[in-house]
Amino acid sequence: MVSNRVAIPKGGRLPAGGLAIGVLAALKQYGGLWFGWSGEVTKVRRIKPVKVTQGNITYVTIDLQQQEHDQYYNGFCNRVLWPLFHYLPQFMDFQRDQWRAYQTVNQLFAHKLIPLLKPDDLIWVHDYHLMLLAQELHTAGVTNPMGFFLHIPFPAYGLLRSMPRHTRVLRGLCHYDLVGFQTGDDLLAFRNCVTNDLGATLIDDHQLEVAGRKSRAGVFPISIDMSTIKNAARKSLHTHTRERLIKSLARRPLIIGVDRLDYSKGLNNRLQAYELFLEKYSENRGKAVFLQIAPQSREQVRAYGEIQRELEEAAGRMNGRFAEFDWMPIRYLNQSFGRTTLIGFLRISQVGLVTPLRDGMNLVAKEYVAAQNPAAPGVLILSSLAGAARELDAALLVNPFDVDGVAEALQTALNMPLAERKERHTAMMDVIRRHDIRAWRENFVQQLQDTRK
Ligand code: ADQ
């Protein structure tokens, strides 16, 4: 496995990020090597990568230098690719130096990875940071099968064209033997882009050819490890944090949101919707409690600092406006929690509020469903613009830009009869059980192996 950042678990704690959680769950199954950035930014890079083995996984990491970190990671990755691929071009800020750094770091990864490769290795690369890696490895003569999985959405051609160097990125992607997406929409957009931009020939629904090189492209919706969530939910029943939260609620219904603090997660619109909900359905004042957990991420990118300030203001204003001496409408936390605690919080919430403006998949939506007590499940309110909505269509689907619609959905969710809650929950559990993290990994690896033929 290769990804920008390698997340070595420390004391049972994982970083708050879907990629790390998905990759780790998949690696644990059969073991393997995970290569990428250590998270350290140094003046002078250590010559030898650092190697750590835990159980059946070996983690090999390299450091980035300050300029690479600024221009590749904070620059081209998070100021260009991330906003554009999430259909939010207003946050895009392209600079040529950043593109050059993106190329250089992809080369660096190739260069450091090559000595670690064995002839029969399958190479599975993750996410938008490393779209040129296969090309670099090919240039260096590596012939192992190479697969790529995009964790975020793939934009429509009309939008992708607004990104300078998009043709180079598309060409880079076509060097992979297999390119995987979260949903059919992403795959369709990709096929459309490569035919329009590179003149690719579509051989069939899954194969394409560019400049004499054949690749496969398919849909592999990422999922969760159901047994891990179920165990965490069971363990959480005996935790002190759960008791404290229940006590603090004093039988009031809990609405929960759990997201990395990111403008793509629609937190501003979500807070507005909750405020409107309290305004319109005043019987919920003094009752409903909204717990929004949003650990900070990418603090060095300006847009993230701005959204953080906006959210603090919105939460403060709402509490100032509606709070009573013994009730606060919103509890807004920038903290990360251990898995058991977090899953325990999801389990006791009557409503899971997941309303990104765009999301590749959104694992929190699936975790919320899996964490519920089947005898009295809560209701998932889910953005129709999250990849997860393609599978979890038994959730209450909302458009996150329609603030009135989200406020209405909150009212519907809190008043939904038990029979309907159970019916929706069962339907969603059936999907998650059939397509869990194991299915994601096995389908991808099987298809990557098939490309050897
Ligand atoms: P993310 O954008 O990080 O992932 P998501 O899929 O929701 O989004 O995953 C977040 C993960 O971090 C979840 O497992 C969640 O439980 C955990 N988490 C969030 N906040 C936490 C907190 N405060 N404490 C502890 N854990 C926390 C990217 C894409 C998604 C895609 C995933 C996987 O943006 O669309 O679903 O990769 O492909």
Specify the CATH number for the domain of residue 232.
3.40.50.2000
Tell whether 216 and 240 lie within a shared domain.
no
Tell whether 190 and 238 lie within a shared domain.
no
258 Cα to the center of ligand 1, angstroms: 8
Tell whether 205 and 258 lie within a shared domain.
no
Q: Which two tokens stand for residue 300?
A: 């060095």
Q: What pLDDT, on the 0 to 100 scale, is given for residue 400?
A: 98
161-165, long-range: CB < 8 A, 24+ apart = 161/197, 162/84, 162/89, 162/92, 163/80, 163/81, 163/84, 163/92, 163/94, 164/94, 164/96, 164/99, 165/99
> Reduced to 3 states, what is the DSSP secondary structure of residue 176?
coil
Tell whether 202 and 276 lie within a shared domain.
no
Report whether residue 364 contacts ligand 1, using a CB cutoff of 6 Å.
yes
HSE, side-chain direction, 13 A CA sphere, residue 299: 5
In total, how many domains does the chain have? 2
Tell whether 363 and 268 lie within a shared domain.
yes
- Comparing C-alpha atoms, which of 188, 128, 233, 230 is closest to residue 436? 230
What residues are annotated to the active site? Answer: 151, 359
Return averaged pLDDT per consecutive 10 residues of the chain, 453 residues in all: 90 69 81 94 84 93 95 97 97 96 98 96 97 98 98 98 97 98 98 97 95 96 92 94 96 97 96 98 98 90 89 96 97 92 97 98 97 98 98 98 98 98 98 94 94 84
Tell whether 296 and 398 lie within a shared domain.
yes
Tell whether 275 and 246 lie within a shared domain.
yes
Q: Which two tokens stand for residue 201?
A: 């020939």
Q: Residue 81: is it exposed, middle or buried by C-beta count within 10 angstroms (0-12/13-18/19+)?
A: buried
142 Cα to the center of ligand 1, angstroms: 33
Report whether residue 359 contacts ligand 1, using a CB cutoff of 6 Å.
yes
Residue ranges making up the domain that contains 114: 2-223+437-450
Cβ neighbours of 228 (radius 10 Å): 18
Report whether residue 311 contacts ligand 1, using a CB cutoff of 6 Å.
no
Place of tokens 């409903």: 288
Tell whether 367 and 441 lie within a shared domain.
no
Query: How far from the centroid of its chain's Cα atoms is residue 279's Cα?
Result: 32
Q: What are the backbone angles phi and psi of residue 438, rounded to the nearest 5°?
A: -65, -45
Report whether residue 232 contacts ligand 1, using a CB cutoff of 6 Å.
no
Alpha helix positions (H), 329-402: 339-347, 363-371
Distance separating alpha carbons of residues 227 and 236, to the nearest angstrom: 14
β-pairing verdict for 146-149 and 2-5: unpaired
Distance separating alpha carbons of residues 405 and 262, to the nearest angstrom: 22
Q: Which two tokens stand for residue 322?
A: 């509606």
Tell whether 211 and 250 lie within a shared domain.
no
- Angle at 5 (CA atoms; ends 29, 179), nearest 5 degrees: 65
Q: What pLDDT, on the 0 to 100 scale, is given for residue 148?
A: 98
